[in-house]
A = this chain, B = another copy of it.
Amino acid sequence: MLAGTAGDVAPRPAPTDSGVLVVAVIVQKYGGSSVADADAIKRVAKRITEARRAGDDVVVVVSAMGDTTDELIDLANRITPTPPLREMDILLTAGERISMSLLAMAIANLGVHAQSFTGQQAGVITDDSHGRARIVAVKADRIRKALAEGNVAIVAGFQGVNEASNDVTTLGRGGSDTTAVALAAAIGADVCEIYTDVDGVFTADPRIVPTAHKISRISYEEMLDMAASGAKVLNLRCVEYGRRHGVDIHVRSSFSAHTGTLVTDRPLPEGEGLMEQPLIAGVAHDRSEAKVTVVGVPDVPGTAARIFEVVAASGVNIDMIVQNVSAAATGLTDISFTLPADDGQKAIGALTDHQAEIGYGSLQYDDQIGKLSLIGAGMKSHPGVSAKLFGALRDAGINIEMISTSEIRVSVVTRADQLDDAVRAVHTAFDLDSSEGEAVVYGGTGR
């Protein structure tokens, strides 16, 4: 419709006869803080038009403005403590409707054609799990058409539609990141840029470790472990989606033009960067967990299984587990596990309800713990990593309460008030400190 009147930005050029297409297709995702008010929206619009004017095809995924989503949740809570999930999803999706149309207006005001699309219009098809829907397909015909006609396509993040019922759904926390990666996969974008308020993924939280530096390149696997271990800059689901569909994810700041962190498994171009894989990607930490200890458990087969069945049935995911060696005299043992502190009540309630059946003595609950995780694909071939980690913590006078390891990760639980010291000690011990501010972590090997 607009193809013939595309202002000062030409429609996407057709591939040449040799099949070479010089135009890059970019998906950009902006979070709520990047579009918090009219001025912020205008700033983002300027950045988008610059990419468009450089000749790229640009799809933008946008979250609701600032605190809009929280305000809408407050409004619902003033009506009822138990809002039906279907209605909650309709309510919350109003937020992106506002931000996406305002952003399209701001771009149009800069002389570049833009059209906004709801999750439904963009073809984001989900299952019917209101409030935490999963994307099952992306039918991006309308987005492709909008690009072909010379538009920047603005898409509402966080939302989709259940095709069977034509009902609006939301993807849950961090859903806009997943929308962006899913769209990038559907239209075969060259890169999915996730704009945020930090410069990228760091070797540790710079608020705790001033010498932490930005990671310029990291594998999906390491990024997944970083995210699962408390690094909040990228949503776990979005990284998982990116890995499954091979979408390069570029995490960068919306407040600067600096390159951020590229999440990819592609090998570096020859001659660029480090040729050997570094040992460690980074040190993540997490203060949001709590520890439950089930004291005096009969040390007979099946008891531990029953404990975790009961906890799972209450809808709680557990993280680390430690079972003490049983005391020969009593035949009793203790079992400790960690879980999100928000779920503590639920797990304690479920275990209390089944105390007689399981036959344990008592429960202990401790939310003053912290978890430190050391992540690096390189540690697969370096068996000394755990020993070095424990040594660094010992030297810093920090007691380890629980340990868990995977192929590319070692996690330990400490006292919460020792966590910052622990992170700094480990960061230094593994030579991650830098006065330069940037490191190349070359995690992927072309998987």
- Interfacial residues, chain A to chain B (CB-CB below 8 A): 38, 41-42, 72, 75-76, 78-80, 82-84, 86-88, 90-91, 93-95, 97-98, 100-102, 104-106, 108-109, 114-116, 118, 121, 142, 166
Contacts and interface: CB of A to CB of B under 8 A. Distances in A.
Contacts of A109: 79-80, 82
A94 B91 contact: no
A116 B102 contact: no
Given A86-B115, A116-B87, A80 B98 contact: no
Contacts of A80: 105-106, 108-109
B121 A105 contact: no
Given A41-B79, A75-B38, A121-B166, A84 B105 contact: yes
A102 B75 contact: yes
Nearest to A167: B121
* Residue of A38, A91, A105, A118 most packed against chain B (CB within 10 A): A105
B90 A116 contact: yes
A101 B97 contact: no
A90 B62 CA distance: 14
A40 to B, nearest CB: 11
A108 B87 contact: yes
A41 B114 CA distance: 36
Tell me the number of copies of this protein.
2
Contacts of A76: 101-102, 105
Contacts of A166: 121, 142
Given A94-B98, A116-B90, A121-B166, A104 B84 contact: yes
B101 A87 contact: yes
23 contacts: A38-B75, A38-B78, A72-B98, A76-B102, A80-B105, A80-B106, A80-B108, A86-B115, A87-B101, A87-B102, A87-B104, A87-B115, A88-B105, A90-B97, A90-B100, A90-B104, A90-B116, A91-B97, A91-B102, A94-B97, A94-B98, A94-B101, A97-B97
A286 to B, nearest CB: 34
Which 8 interchain pairs have the tightest Cβ spacing?
A80-B109, A91-B101, A38-B78, A90-B101, A94-B94, A94-B97, A87-B101, A83-B105
Nearest to A41: B79
A32 to B, nearest CB: 15
A100 B72 CA distance: 13
A106 B94 contact: no
A26 B98 CA distance: 32
A22 to B, nearest CB: 29
